[in-house]
Amino acid sequence: MTRPGVARSAPAAVLDSHAQAGTLLRVGWVVPAMSRLYTALFTVHHNELDAFGELRASNYARLLQQAATEASADVGYPATWYALAGTLWLVRRTAIEYLQPVHASDTLQIRTWVADFRRVRSQREYDLCVVGQQSPVAHAHTDWVYVERTSGRPRRIPQGMIESFAPAGVPPSLPRHPLANGGAPAGAFSATRRVEFRDLDALAHVNNASYLDYIEQAAIDAGAAVGWPLERIVGLGGYWRPRAHDIEYLAEAFYGDGLCCVTWVTGHEGAQVERQSEVRRAVDGSLIARARSRWVWVERATRELADIPAQLVGALA
């Protein structure tokens, strides 16, 4: 059950930029003084959990989108305004760092604010915590593009909208570092799938969160292809937990489209493994989305991070 968000004034602060190009996420940012802070509260439901009783990675993205929608309505731009204006916001890129698991009945607090504006783009930041706990459970940012609803062409953000989101002045522009993705190597795992009706959103294209489900399933299938299906992994007494996703959306996919999901390991150390992924249109190979992701190995009995079992290390090569 979703409870309405509450707008709050923002403290003075400085927003840190990426430490280096290609990093998955900035760390340690706070709200710039000129931006309006919005806080949304959501109760986590059992049907939002994964097979290990934790909030599914893609459902974080869905909640971020809902919080952004509420934050827009709070400053006078609800969905009805965009419908009349013939415009909308599309997600260009999302980065999420998952710090701690979230469980059923937790009340998730999402603080969100606009971090910058460019001519047709705006970056929104999110800080997530469970009510009653001091430590954050996730950080995220999303790069949004303002477009015409019918043509999809970028459109200049109205000055009045900018002033509503940042009433104390426009925050400085942030750098957009390219997603570090070198392309799939020979022998990378590949699987095809068809876009299903449940993958679509109100715009009748694949919702941005659904791509995280595609990437996660491809990683599971890649393990099975080298002799480590999910049931065998669970038999080791542990499981893979998403630690971070950084995904860039380059084109749209629609109902019935055939997709080719490609994934490969780029490195591993201790409890952590990093993967890169691509989603391409099966009919012509055109790139729809690409991502960098980190997973960590978790002992099921203790829910603590542990070194990747030796038996699995060879499969990651």
All residues at 6 or more sequence positions from 125 whose CB lies less than 8 Å from its CB, including other chains? 15, 29, 31, 112, 113, 114, 115, 139, 140, 141
The answer to whether the 1-178 and 188-317 domains have the same CATH topology is yes
Residue 36, token pair as written in the block: 């309006």
Exposed e or buried b for every residue in 290-306, given b needs 16+ CB within 10 A? bbbbbbbbbbeeeeeee
Rounded distance, CA 31 to CA 127, Å?
A: 10
188-317: in CATH 3.40.47.10: no
Sign of CA pseudo-dihedral 87, 89, 90, 93: positive
What dihedral do alpha carbons 195, 198, 202, 206 form, nearest 10°?
Answer: -30
C-alpha span between 65 and 63 (Å, rounded):
5
Record the pTM: 0.89
Are 85 and 161 spatial neighbours (Cβ–Cβ below 8 Å)?
Answer: no
Task: Please give the chain's pLDDT, 317 residues, in tens.
Answer: 333 344 333 332 222 333 333 444 444 456 767 789 999 999 999 999 999 999 999 999 999 999 999 999 999 999 999 999 999 999 999 999 999 999 999 999 999 999 999 999 999 999 999 999 989 999 999 999 999 999 999 999 999 999 999 998 888 888 888 897 778 999 999 999 999 999 999 999 999 999 999 999 999 999 999 999 999 999 999 999 999 999 999 999 999 999 999 999 999 999 999 999 999 999 999 999 999 999 999 999 999 999 999 999 988 87
Q: Alpha-carbon distance 143 to 93, whole Å?
A: 5
Q: Helix 208-225 to helix 57-74 angle, to the nearest 10 degrees?
A: 170
Is-contact 25 160, C-beta < 8 A?
no
User: In the chain, where are the structural domains located?
Assistant: 1-178, 188-317
Candidates 3.40.50.20, 3.10.129.10, 1.10.10.10, 3.40.1010.10; correct CATH number of 1-178? 3.10.129.10
Strands 189-194 and 258-269: antiparallel
At a CB cut-off of 8 Å and minimum separation 6, what does 43 contact? Answer: 1, 2, 3, 105, 106, 107, 108
**What pLDDT score does 25 carry?**
47
pLDDT at 278: 97
Buried/exposed 98-125: b ≥16 CB within 10 Å, e otherwise? beebbeeebebbbbbbbbbbeeebbbbb
pLDDT at 180: 79
